[in-house]
Amino acid sequence: MFTKTLISSAFVAAVSAHQNFHQFWVNDVTPGYQVGIRMPPSNSPVTDVTSNDIACNVDGSTVPSGVETVDASEGDTIKVQWDSSSHPGPITHMLFGPVDDASQATGIGAGWFKIDELDYDNGTWANAIMEAANMTHEFALPTGLASGEYLLRSEMLALHGAQTVGGAQFYIGCAQLKITGSGGSCGPSISLPGAYDANDADIYIPNIYNGYDPSNYTAPGGPIATCGGSGNGSTIATATPTATSSAVIRSSTAVVSASLNDTLVSSTAVAVAISSSSVSPANTTEPITSAIVPSIPTSAASSTFITAIVPSFNTTSIPAASGTAPRPSGTGSAGATVRKYYQCGGLAWTGSTTCESGLTCTAQNDYYSQCL
Ligand SMILES: *[C@@H]1O[C@H](CO)[C@@H](O)[C@H](O)[C@H]1NC(C)=O
Ligand SMILES: *[C@@H]1O[C@H](CO)[C@@H](O)[C@H](O)[C@H]1NC(C)=O
Ligand SMILES: *[C@@H]1O[C@H](CO)[C@@H](O)[C@H](O)[C@H]1NC(C)=O
Ligand SMILES: *[C@@H]1O[C@H](CO)[C@@H](O)[C@H](O)[C@H]1NC(C)=O
Ligand SMILES: *[C@@H]1O[C@H](CO)[C@@H](O)[C@H](O)[C@H]1NC(C)=O
Ligand SMILES: *[C@@H]1O[C@H](CO)[C@@H](O)[C@H](O)[C@H]1NC(C)=O
Ligand SMILES: *[C@@H]1O[C@H](CO)[C@@H](O)[C@H](O)[C@H]1NC(C)=O
Ligand SMILES: [Cu+2]
């Protein structure tokens, strides 16, 4: 069984309480680890939904981005992979575009539309469903897209602090795609910042630990867009795409109140997965203090999640990307000191390894150290 491996202390110690989006595949082909993605300077969440950081995370709107743009076609399968996450919540994907040059697109403002959403399925939040699939999630690019370049925004929303206004945590990463499409516009579209409000019912959930039933939860950002509308998409700077009919795709079945109180956000060693597939309608108040073996959700949401795989954080099997994945230079050159929660080390890290005074560069895993 995989359980023994999961509980190994080495593994648990390597797991951070926060998460980043590190890699994606287009029809099972990846451009590489952290290639094509605007990596934020830390794995800390965005909590101010009115901030420009809500678009593409801290430093994610700096242009030119210095990030490679990856080819894809409409209808292609995209698989994303995130760090392990014990934080309950949904994952959503949005596109921004088309634009002439994705590396020059800030992503701030109007022009986003939702293309994928996984919320809470059969008693299991998206993060736990992903945990059972090596922290991956797959979806298809829509058809009826205008050819052009786009930002692909992956968002994991963590709701373990959603009982207070401003407590929800947004983990965000933006990739750059050049998509060949058959033409068409998508709608409805939204603005970021703008579309989210700290008091929205899907962001501020006062009773999340007190009887909240997530079975009908829908992630913020409105419905999934319909593409193939007349026109070839609008130029981002000028127009707001017309909303066409929309469809929400969701598949929640069980009514299970699986409340998770992760009180260990700041701790370094946190549980691997909370796959509460057992039907225990308890609003358990137990904090997640140890590695919980993820049971395989037999529902598994779709046949793509048939295997439960031990997440591997050993970079020895990850293609080295040091030469090909330029990072945002938010932490400055090798001589600068690094601020709290920002990256200070890890494989392929070329920035400064010196923390501001009073802080220690602390390894979270082989490829990520931060100043704490
Ligand atoms: C899980 O993902 C890691 C990182 O991408 C990869 O190295 C590993 O091979 C994957 N595990 C399986 C069983 O696919
Ligand atoms: C719209 O897209 C179609 C299909 O790609 C293309 O043939 C057509 O020229 C495009 N029209 C405009 C105005 O860009
Ligand atoms: C669970 O929720 C119910 C209903 O809100 C509440 O009465 C009860 O005290 C809670 N139990 C625990 C253990 O928190
Ligand atoms: C969820 O939606 C279904 C279908 O509309 C409804 O029957 C059910 O009562 C809803 N559950 C909650 C908790 O709102
Ligand atoms: C959950 O976590 C919060 C924050 O640490 C704590 O105040 C609260 O008592 C915990 N328990 C419940 C049931 O919410
Ligand atoms: C939901 O999950 C439970 C527990 O894992 C499982 O027994 C049941 O078959 C699942 N239901 C569906 C519809 O997938
Ligand atoms: C990764 O694998 C290498 C080689 O097998 C090993 O020496 C190293 O200890 C491993 N690191 C972790 C964190 O498991
Ligand atoms: Cu966290």
Distance, in Å, from the CA atom of 205 to the CA atom of 166, rounded to the nearest integer, reads: 10
Place of tokens 């070329």: 350
| H or E element in which residue 11 lies | helix 9-14
Question: What separation in Å is there between the alpha carbon of 52 and the centre of ligand 7?
Answer: 38
Nearest C-alpha to atom 4 of ligand 5 is from which residue? 263
Residue 333 lies in a domain: no
The alpha helices in 46-198, defined as continuous H runs, are: 53-56, 126-131
Per the CB < 8 A criterion, the answer to whether 205 and 161 are in contact is no
Could you say which of 188, 210, 229 is where a domain stops? 229
Structural domain includes residue 121: yes
Residue 142's Cβ-count burial label (10 Å; 0-12, 13-18, 19+) is buried
The atom number, within ligand 6, closest to the CA of 299 reads 14
Alpha-carbon distance of 9 to 3, in angstroms, equals 12
The rounded Å distance from CA 314 to ligand 7 centre is: 6
Half-sphere exposure of 349 (CA within 13 A, CB side): 26
Q: Among 179, 199, 229, where does a domain finish? A: 229
Q: Kindly state the DSSP code that residue 356 receives in the 8-state scheme.
A: P
Percent of the chain exceeding pLDDT 90 equals 56
pLDDT band at 368 (very low <50, low <70, confident <90, very high): low
Burial of 14 by CB count in 10 Å (0-12 exposed, 13-18 middle, 19+ buried)? buried
Tokens 């965005």 belong to 46
Cα separation of 168 and 161, whole Å? Answer: 5
Residue 277 near ligand 6, beta carbon < 6 Å? yes
Nearest CA to ligand 3 atom 11: 283
Assess whether pLDDT exceeds 60 at residue 231: yes
- pLDDT tens, 279-315? 233 333 323 223 333 333 333 333 222 222 223 222 2
Q: How many CB atoms lie within 10 A of CB 216?
A: 10
Helix (H) or strand (E) run with residue 255 in it: none
Strand-pair partners of 365 = 368
The ligand 3 site (C-beta within 6 Å) comprises: 210-211, 283, 285
- Ligand 7 close to Cβ of residue 14 (< 6 A): yes
CA 75 to centroid of ligand 5, rounded, Å: 43
103-124: b or e for each residue (b if 16 or more CB lie within 10 Å)? bebbbbbbbbbbbbbbbbbbbb
User: Above 50 in pLDDT, residue 326?
Assistant: no
Cβ atoms of residues 61 and 52 within 8 Å? yes
Q: Containing H/E element for 13?
A: helix 9-14
Q: Any idea which ligand is nearest the CA of 254?
A: 6
Total tally of structural domains belonging to the chain: 2
270 in a structural domain:
no
Domain end position, chosen among 175, 200, 229 = 229
Which ligand 1 atom sits closest to the C-alpha of 22? 5
Say if ligand 5 is within 6 A of residue 209 CB. Answer: yes
Ligand 7 contact via 366 beta carbon (within 6 Å): yes
Q: Is 232 touching ligand 2 by the criterion CB < 6 Å?
A: yes
Best residue for ligand 6 mutational test, from 251, 277, 303 (most atoms within 8 Å of Cβ): 277
What is the pTM (predicted TM-score) of this model? Answer: 0.61
Maximum average pLDDT range among 124-133, 267-276, 335-344, 359-368: 124-133
Nearest residue to 22 via CA among 134, 141, 173, 246 = 173
Question: Strands 124-125 and 70-73: what pairing?
Answer: unpaired
- In 3-state terms, what secondary structure has residue 95? strand
CA 312 to ligand 7 centroid distance, Å:
10
Q: What is the pLDDT of residue 331?
A: 35
CB 111 within 8 A of CB 186: no
Give distance in angstroms: CA of 238 to centre of ligand 2.
Answer: 18
Q: Measure the CA–CA gap between 253 and 223, rounded to whole angstroms.
A: 19
123 found inside a domain: yes
For residue 265, being part of any structural domain is answered with no
Ligand 2 close to Cβ of residue 183 (< 6 A): yes
- In this structure, the residue with its CA closest to atom 4 of ligand 4 is 216
**Pair 68, 5: CB distance under 8 Å:** no
- Tell me, yes or no, whether 59 and 202 share the same domain: yes
Residues 351 and 218 in one domain: no
Flag whether 189 is in a domain: yes
Quick: pLDDT tens for 150-206.
Answer: 999 999 999 999 999 999 999 999 999 999 999 999 999 999 999 999 999 999 999
Q: Report how far ligand 7's centroid is from the alpha carbon of 124 (Å).
A: 31
CB 223 within 8 A of CB 248: yes
Ligand at minimal distance from the CA of 346 is 7
What confidence score (pLDDT) does residue 257 get? 26
Nearest CA to ligand 5 atom 6: 263
What is the Cα–Cα distance from 348 to 143, expressed in whole angstroms? 36
200 in contact with ligand 4, CB cutoff 6 A? no
Identify whether residues 206 and 347 lie together within a single domain.
no
pLDDT at 107: 97
Range of the domain at 133: 21-229
Residue with structure tokens 């795409």? 241
Mutate to test the pocket of ligand 4, among 215, 217, 252 (most ligand atoms within 8 A of CB): 215
In a domain, 329, yes or no: no
Please, which pLDDT band fits residue 94 given cuts at 50, 70 and 90?
A: very high
* Residue 55 backbone phi and psi in degrees, to 5: -75, -65
**What is the structure's pLDDT at 102?**
98
Q: Determine the residue of 179, 227, 232, 234 to mutate for testing ligand 2's pocket, defined as the one with the most ligand atoms within 8 A of the Cβ atom.
A: 232
CA distance 355 to 279: 46
Residue 98 CA, ligand 2 centroid: distance in Å: 12
Question: Which CATH number is 103's domain given?
Answer: 2.70.50.70
The count of residues in the chain is: 372
Please check whether residue 301 lies inside any domain of the structure. no
